[in-house]
């Protein structure tokens, strides 16, 4: 299976309501190592990454396709560098310690963050992983739901088109 969802196959398309060509909804977050999200202690927000292409990835520790995608995203992040590109992985585990344990066993070099539960509605998360490609102006350009190893070629092509 390529997606952790309600049993429906991954679409590889933008979930309903969010529209390509529109601004990515902003949200506050903090690094997952900081524990449970507290809006009073949020350390960053998506809007602070304008000027970079952002691969916004929603994942959870129990999601088997997420386990496959994360090391490949880590390799892609290392290849593309930090100057114009950032991966922001939003952990959706109910308990932050589950995400922390996962990262202890499967570390990555990109940002892994927590936010509040409203993110599911804000980004219309229906299955995991769900990813959004955001251009340097903060505009949603592509979306992808589910993951199979062969998806990396298309993901890389879409990111390269945004980095040009």
**Distance, CA of 96 to CA of 36 (rounded, Å):** 6
Euclidean distance between the first and the last CA atom of the chain, given in angstroms as a whole number: 33
pLDDT tens for 49-104 read 999 999 999 999 999 999 999 999 999 999 998 899 999 999 999 998 999 999 99
Q: 64-80 vs 151-163: helix axis angle to the nearest 10?
A: 40
Judged by DSSP in three states, 88 sits in strand
Q: Is the peptide bond before 129 cis (omega within 30 degrees of 0)?
A: yes
Residue with tokens 């949020």: 42
Better-predicted residue by pLDDT, 37 or 144: 144
Pairing of strands 111-114, 85-91: parallel
Average pLDDT, the chain: 88
Contact 89, 107 (CB under 8 A): no
Region 110-128: mean pLDDT is: 91
Contacts 24+ apart (CB under 8 A), 78-83: 78/109, 80/159, 80/163, 83/52
Judged by DSSP in three states, 158 sits in helix
Judged by DSSP in three states, 145 sits in strand
Return the pLDDT at 126. Answer: 87
State in words which class domain 28-163 has: alpha beta
Does the pLDDT value for residue 15 go beyond 50?
Answer: no
pLDDT tens for 29-57 read 998 877 777 767 778 999 999 999 999 99
Does the pLDDT value for residue 1 go beyond 50?
Answer: no
- Report percent pLDDT > 70 for the chain: 88
Judged by DSSP in three states, 20 sits in coil
Beta carbons within 8 Å of 115's beta carbon, 6+ residues apart: 27, 28, 29, 30, 37, 42, 90
């Amino acid at each position: 299976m390529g997606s952790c969802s309600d049993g429906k196959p991954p679409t590889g398309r933008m979930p309903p309501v969010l529209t390509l060509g529109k601004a990515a909804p902003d949200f506050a977050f903090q690094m997952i190592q900081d524990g449970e999200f507290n809006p009073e202690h949020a350390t960053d927000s998506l809007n602070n990454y304008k000027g970079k292409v952002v691969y916004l990835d929603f994942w959870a520790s129990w999601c088997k396709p997420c386990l496959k995608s994360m090391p490949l995203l880590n390799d892609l992040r290392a290849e593309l560098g930090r100057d114009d590109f950032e991966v922001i992985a939003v952990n959706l585990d109910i308990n932050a310690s589950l995400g922390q344990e996962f990262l202890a066993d499967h570390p990555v070099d990109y940002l892994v963050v927590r936010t509040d539960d409203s993110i599911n509605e804000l980004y219309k998360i229906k299955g995991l992983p769900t990813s959004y490609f955001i251009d340097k102006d903060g505009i949603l350009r592509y979306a992808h739901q589910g993951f199979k190893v062969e998806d990396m070629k298309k993901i890389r092509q879409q990111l390269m088109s945004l980095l040009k």
